[in-house]
């Protein structure tokens, strides 16, 4: 027997859960790696600049790695800044066909 006093709470919870699942549909993740010419990891500030929408800021760990989740498919300019090395940019298309992509930044030499 269904407890009618709790039924609205259960239905509301199911609606919220299904909304969260549909909101994530179509989102992708990107793994970012930042290293120097000797393939040593570098800490970096990473900025995702979409053609439309909000700018996303992140920082890699000491291992030079970062996973950015919940990106909408589309074109982005991704900027990596490493203190002492400078700034580098890449134009990236987050594909709707691929759940997870890898983006590699390699800094060849330190700034003079």
> Higher pLDDT residue, 71 or 52?
71
Asked whether residue 14 is assigned to any structural domain, the reply reads: no
Asked whether residue 97 is assigned to any structural domain, the reply reads: yes
Full-model pTM: 0.72
Q: What is the CATH number of the domain that holds 96?
A: 2.60.40.10
Can you tell me the distance from the alpha carbon of 79 to that of 100, in angstroms, rounded to the nearest whole number? 19
Q: Find the domain containing 63 and state its range.
A: 27-107
Can you tell me the distance from the alpha carbon of 8 to that of 112, in angstroms, rounded to the nearest whole number? 66
Arithmetic mean of pLDDT over the chain: 80
Can you tell me the distance from the alpha carbon of 105 to that of 32, in angstroms, rounded to the nearest whole number? 8
């Amino acid at each position: 027997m269904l407890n009618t006093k709790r039924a609205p709470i259960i239905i509301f919870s199911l609606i919220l859960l299904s909304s969260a699942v549909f909101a994530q549909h179509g989102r992708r993740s990107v793994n970012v790696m930042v290293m120097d010419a000797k393939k040593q990891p570098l800490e970096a500030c990473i900025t995702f600049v979409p053609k439309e929408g909000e700018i996303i800021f992140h920082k890699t760990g000491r291992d030079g790695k970062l996973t950015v989740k919940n990106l909408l498919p589309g074109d982005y300019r991704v900027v990596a800044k490493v203190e002492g090395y400078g700034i580098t940019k890449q134009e990236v298309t987050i594909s709707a066909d691929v759940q997870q992509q890898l983006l590699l930044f390699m800094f060849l030499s330190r700034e003079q």
